[in-house]
């Protein structure tokens, strides 16, 4: 069974460089679908825009850090 632990978001501020942010999921043992992952990314954008004083923030990539409870073969 694979459990999603973290959401790793790469985002760009304005036309400048790309930043990375790791968002830890508290309810990680519950199944999380792709729609909820997109919603989480959308909820983070206003927080990041506020942090960067109103500059446009664009989410470029979203990765999932997972943990598997099955032994690797």
CATH number of the domain bearing residue 9: 3.10.20
Residue 38 located in a structural domain: yes
Looking at the chain, which runs of residues are DSSP E strands? Answer: 2-13, 18-24, 57-68
Provide the domain limits for residue 23. Answer: 2-67
pLDDT tens-digit profile of 55-72?
Answer: 888 888 888 887 776 666
Using CA atoms, how far residue 57 sits from 18, 20, 28, 42, in Å, is 10, 12, 26, 11
Mean pLDDT of the chain: 77
pLDDT tens-digit profile of 15-37?
Answer: 888 888 887 776 656 666 667 77
pTM assigned to the model: 0.63
- Domain count for the chain: 1
Burial of 36 per CB tally in 10 Å (0-12, 13-18, 19+)? middle
Residue 32 located in a structural domain: yes
């Amino acid at each position: 069974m694979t459990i999603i632990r973290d959401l790793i978001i790469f985002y760009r501020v304005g036309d400048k460089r790309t930043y990375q942010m790791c968002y830890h999921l508290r309810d990680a043992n519950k199944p999380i679908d792709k729609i909820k992952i997109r919603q989480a990314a959308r909820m983070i954008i206003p927080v990041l825009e506020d942090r960067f004083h109103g500059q446009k923030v664009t989410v470029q990539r979203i990765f999932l850090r997972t943990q598997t409870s099955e032994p690797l073969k």
